[in-house]
Amino acid sequence: MTAVAVTLPPKPKVDWVPLAIVPVLALIALPLVGSFSTWVTLTVAALAMGMMIFLMASGLTLVFGLMDVINFGHGVFISIGAYLALLVLGPMAAWVASDSVIENVIVLLACIGVAMAGTGALGWAFERVVVRPVYGQHLKQILITMGGLIVAEQMIHVVWGASPIPISLPTTFRGAFVVGEAAVERYRVIAVVLGLLVFAAMYLVLNRTRIGLLIRAGVENAEMVEALGYRIRRLFVGVFIVGSGLAGLGGVMWAFYRQTLTAGMGMEVNVLIFIVIIVGGLGSIGGCFIGSLLVALIANYTGFLVPKLALVSNILLMVIVLLWRPQGLYPVAKR
């Protein structure tokens, strides 16, 4: 060994086992479901569902990973994002009903844009007013963000009224593609594509850019990053805003999927989101992605095979994963 030899840091080992669970699960389900076309429909529906959950959950897990802040009020950003879409749907009602693909796409993008901007801004305010005074105190974080959730949910009632609001999908996104014998809803395909795009973008930002490097370093050891002269606080505010914006995006997608708006809709998925981030490992984006897919796949398959079991299938999944890996599928280093 000469002194000049440059040793590259060892490549981090990729943990393939959790990754393999998703396709294995799908393959096991195939003979159980029986018919291939039903299986395709179920699987695509689950993937779409999983992507939407991922959109909503990714922000929360990142915020937790970076700053050890658990935001029980995350669900409210989902609801608010969905309600903000109304601001677009009202004036652009004609474009929603039109047959033109371009106009429909513009409406969807406008909804997403408004919702993300709105929830992002709200996230900034939420971080400043609600979360900042309680850094490092988990108990108070839980209580405060829960209180924020109650107040925000009631404010939605004040502004938009207490009764559920129906919304309709843009015309071209309705209906289904028929591939062979399997029917695949168009909107679900859009959700899958959008989810993959966001995941890819997030992956690239986290792994290929300087900011991503800092975020990952911050998750690993925030104090050290600060000692090296970076303002982790600013980074964190940025992540919080992006996380809230993503929740808003997820909220819009979720709202179009359900086609009704209720103030409690965010809180309802919040439970699912918590299961996902616990299963994935708190703070891990990859784990969150796999967790979302697992939760959705299992919910769909059990819903078809043993409907009674579907009610508790998510809890069972969580219990099994935690017994196997108590920190979740991809444990994040120090936490």
User: Considering the complex, what minimum distance in angstroms separates the CB of residue 154 from other proteins?
Assistant: 4
CB 189 within 8 A of CB 44: yes
Q: Which one of 11-19, 99-107, 185-193, 314-322 is the stretch in contact with other proteins (CB under 8 A)?
A: 314-322
User: Considering the complex, what minimum distance in angstroms separates the CB of residue 139 from other proteins?
Assistant: 6
Tokens of 251: 């909220």
- For 52-69, the three-class secondary structure string (H helix, E strand, C coil) is HHHHHHHHHHHHHHHHCC
Encoded one letter per residue, x for contact with other proteins by CB under 8 A and - for no contact, window 269-298 reads -xx--xx-xx--------------------
CB 297 within 8 A of CB 25: yes
| 147 touching other proteins, by CB under 8 A | yes
Tokens of 181: 């014998």
CA nearest neighbour of 275 among 262, 250, 260, 293: 293
CB 130 within 8 A of CB 240: no
Nearer Cβ to other proteins (182/267): 267
Q: Looking at 157, 231, 233, 334, which residue binds other proteins (CB under 8 A)? A: 157
| 267 touching other proteins, by CB under 8 A | yes
Q: Looking at 101, 102, 109, 150, which residue binds other proteins (CB under 8 A)? A: 150
Q: Which one of 4-12, 43-51, 130-138, 165-173 is the stretch in contact with other proteins (CB under 8 A)?
A: 130-138
* Cβ-count burial 103-134 (b if 16+ within 10 Å, e if not): bbeebbebbbbbbbebbbebbbebbeebbeeb
Q: Looking at 18, 50, 123, 148, which residue binds other proteins (CB under 8 A)? A: 148
Nearer Cβ to other proteins (102/315): 315
Nearer Cβ to other proteins (43/58): 58
* C-alpha to C-alpha distance for 312 and 70, rounded to whole angstroms: 24
Encoded one letter per residue, x for contact with other proteins by CB under 8 A and - for no contact, window 199-228 reads ------------------------------
Q: Looking at 32, 35, 125, 133, which residue binds other proteins (CB under 8 A)? A: 133
Q: What are the backbone angles phi and psi of residue 169, rounded to the nearest 5°?
A: -75, 145
Q: Is 261 helix (H, G, I), strand (E, B) or coil?
A: strand
Size of the site for other proteins (CB under 8 A): 40
Amino acid sitting at position 75? G
User: Considering the complex, what minimum distance in angstroms separates the CB of residue 118 from other proteins?
Assistant: 19
* C-alpha to C-alpha distance for 44 and 46, rounded to whole angstroms: 5
User: Considering the complex, what minimum distance in angstroms separates the CB of residue 315 from other proteins?
Assistant: 5
User: Considering the complex, what minimum distance in angstroms separates the CB of residue 34 from other proteins?
Assistant: 25
CB 198 within 8 A of CB 249: yes
* CA within 13 Å, CB half, 232: 21
| 136 touching other proteins, by CB under 8 A | no
Strands 260-261 and 176-179: unpaired
Q: Looking at 128, 138, 174, 231, which residue binds other proteins (CB under 8 A)? A: 138
CA nearest neighbour of 153 among 243, 75, 256, 50: 75
Q: Looking at 100, 315, 333, 334, which residue binds other proteins (CB under 8 A)? A: 315
Nearer Cβ to other proteins (10/326): 326
CB 261 within 8 A of CB 167: yes
Point out which residues bind other proteins (CB under 8 A): 70, 72, 130, 133, 138-140, 142-144, 146-148, 150-151, 154-155, 157-159, 162, 267, 270-271, 274-275, 277-278, 308, 311-312, 314-315, 318-319, 322-323, 326-327, 335
